[in-house]
Amino acid sequence: MGQTIVLSLHGNDLFGRPSEYVGPLNFTEMFADPEFGQVLLVTLGFTVLSVLPAVVGALFVVLLLEARIRGVRFLRTVFALPFAFSVATASVVFAVIYNPAVGIANAALGKLGADRVDWLTDPRMALVSVAATTVWMNLGYNVLVLSAGVGSIPAEVVEAARLDGATGWRLARAIHVPLLTPQLFFLVVVSTIHALQSFGQIHVLTKGGPNGQTTTLVYSIYEKAFAYGSSDFGGASARAIVLLVIVLACTAVQFGVLERRVHYK
């Protein structure tokens, strides 16, 4: 951390070594760069698109699994399976799925009579496609956490609610969701931090393209420091400090706003 602060206040030579003290110049150039505003918007969009569906989707899956249906153990295994994949493996799998020529995504659309979609090269779809991959990757972990939370709910509480006539959505709203708020709060905080730090799936699927539409703050740090022969460690360090401030600010806001609605037993 100390080295990052030092680098952010210095220029560097061709080999990336600090050369001269430039003060806040790296920060002023960063905020004056119009592309940096787009990077922040992409980072915000990616975080929202990958965190909310992953948490809400996992809650829906867990509540569905709590319904007394056949094959629930098999379904629980299927939904937890993404947790076993590494970021690189999952990204390669989705690169094949999104392939416009042989991928099953366009094959499914073709069965429905829809036109082919360029999932990773269309500027309107690239960020959504990368975020959908991230949602799938995080779904298994979120399902496991929420399943553990459901398992900790006292059975007598659930049975008492059933005797009072609460079933289905009413049971979920009155018992499961309120008693799962500690796990939901944990997942929102952790998923937000992970989303702000996501790199692997972006690098494998789009490399920040097309036209910077999937260049998040983390990926812009990589581009500044290492990509395309660049060695601007001063600029990259300035962006790393901004990322740290954003992560801390998001975490503080979530603790200040969402934690008030958490029901600890």
Strand runs (DSSP E) across 4-92, as ranges? 10-12, 18-21
Closest CA to 205 of 119, 146, 124: 119
Do residues 214 and 46 make contact, with C-beta atoms less than 8 angstroms apart?
A: yes
Residue 203 has a pLDDT of 96
CA distance readout (Å), 54 to 32, 57, 91, 134: 34, 5, 16, 8
| Residue listed under structure tokens 């003060």 | 23
Per residue of the chain (265 residues), give pLDDT as tens: 888 888 888 888 777 777 888 889 999 999 999 999 999 999 999 999 999 999 999 999 888 887 766 666 777 777 777 777 889 999 999 999 999 988 999 999 999 988 889 999 999 999 999 999 999 999 989 998 998 998 888 888 888 888 887 777 888 888 889 999 999 999 999 999 999 999 999 999 999 989 999 999 999 999 999 887 778 899 999 999 999 999 999 999 999 888 777 776 6
63: nearest Cα among 76, 54, 53: 76
Amino acid of residue 100: P
By CB atoms closer than 10 A (0-12, 13-18, 19+), residue 262 is: middle
Cα separations in angstroms, 162 against 64, 214, 239? 16, 47, 53
H-run or E-run covering 27: helix 25-32
| Alpha-carbon gap, residue 97 to 260, rounded angstroms | 41
Q: What number of other Cβ atoms are within 10 A of residue 265's Cβ?
A: 7
CA 140 to chain centre: 13
Please identify which residue in the block is written with the tokens 């998923």.
191
Q: Does residue 202 contact residue 130 with C-beta atoms inside 8 Å?
A: yes
